[in-house]
Chain A
């Protein structure tokens, strides 16, 4: 399979889904957005806690994640609902998303005359936009256009031993095909950053990687806290992971063996082709939301303890090498590579199974998280609320 069926976007990019996204600019617009989502089938709202009482880089980060999620090629059109007095500027947000050429509409609840009138207006807009999106026909897209995120969460010892190395084999195959892979979780390369730094394409990229890890570690020191208990989490520790170093060394194999071309900011656009590192927290939802805002088409997510979460706009493929957990949580798991630890198949075969799933999901196969309606969305904060 050299191509998949996807959606052509006006800016030359391609989507693997065709979402109508409903964005509240601020928490105060969440309820109106959720009501519109309930009343118009095949729409996705992304309620969140932010958009007001924020300043500086923290405010910019919220804006960038909202704009990036709207710009994601899996999104065909965007409806923005503002309250009317928040710090995230709805007109600027609409303009940032419109640069991609996709349809964007926005209105504010204060001008609309309250929640009921806003919901009515939003439903009318959303129905019209959804009908327009449904007329889109899929086209053949080469796999070289694909950008995938690699993530691990709810890790146990099987993650580092098997599912992460297997995902690494699949990541190498995607890159060999011309696609892009992004890895994040700055907190979870602590103790393994020297191994990734050796693979950076220039000394500048390598020193940037060291500097983002150092910045985070200084924050932990400033807080006077021990990372253990937070990361590795209680579940990680119960699963056999003793230290952040051990967790990190098990984490990094999921991005394969390609050179790292650049270190990009949280939610920054992921370039095409090759391997990239996104400076992001290890927190599952914040990390995946940052990758989606960076334009990832899908995220491959390994887990040993078992986690159900998905994402609002990108399919999340759940991969495990823990046979017992797979049996317990099969409803949530897409790929079982536990045979790697029993000798049933080798690392190449485990990688091929994941690669096949990536290709099928790109081509339209729904992930378990999509089927179950998991649409988690969370924005990383870097400043205080005012």
Chain B
């Protein structure tokens, strides 16, 4: 957690190694936003609408890559994600608690 969010911040990045920022308001395609990581200011061009509370990629993520937020792995990219794009269930998936995968990989269902 950032100890203190800047007044008027559009997005928040929880950890310096994160691939994503979280929108603090509804973001529109075509906007250019600035955000800070460890005191350094960066900018990101928003490529598609991202609702409040949802994630936006701030670096390129390759298909199959682990995706980080809070400095930890929150899932795996199911396709390549370019910076500025919405990151959610359509392009990342959880790795844990996947009984459906366990079955597909040959384990007998109950």
Contacts and interface: CB of A to CB of B under 8 A. Distances in A.
Contacts, number: 133
B72 interface: yes
Contact residues of B: prevailing secondary structure: loop
B22 A162 contact: no
B35 interface: no
A165 interface: yes
Interface size class of B (residues with CB under 8 A): 35 or more
B100 A346 contact: no
Interface in A210-243: 217, 220-228, 231, 237, 239-240, 242-243
B94 A223 contact: no
A240 B54 contact: yes
A220 B95 CA distance: 13
A239 B110 CA distance: 33
Interface residues of A, number: 45
Contacts of B53: 156-158, 239-240, 304, 322
Contacts of B110: 222-224
Interface of B: 1-9, 12, 14, 22-24, 51-55, 69-70, 72-75, 87-89, 92-103, 107, 109-110
26 contacts: A161-B1, A162-B1, A190-B96, A217-B97, A220-B99, A222-B99, A225-B100, A226-B97, A226-B98, A227-B98, A228-B97, A240-B53, A242-B75, A242-B87, A243-B74, A243-B92, A243-B95, A245-B73, A245-B94, A249-B69, A250-B70, A322-B53, A340-B5, A341-B5, A342-B24, A343-B5
Interface of A: 156-158, 160-162, 165, 187, 190-192, 195, 217, 220-228, 231, 237, 239-240, 242-246, 249-250, 253, 304, 322, 324, 340-344, 346-348
Given A191-B74, A224-B99, A224-B102, 20 more contacts: A191-B95, A224-B103, A224-B110, A226-B97, A226-B101, A231-B97, A237-B88, A242-B75, A243-B93, A244-B96, A244-B97, A246-B69, A246-B74, A253-B1, A324-B52, A341-B24, A342-B24, A346-B3, A347-B1, A348-B3
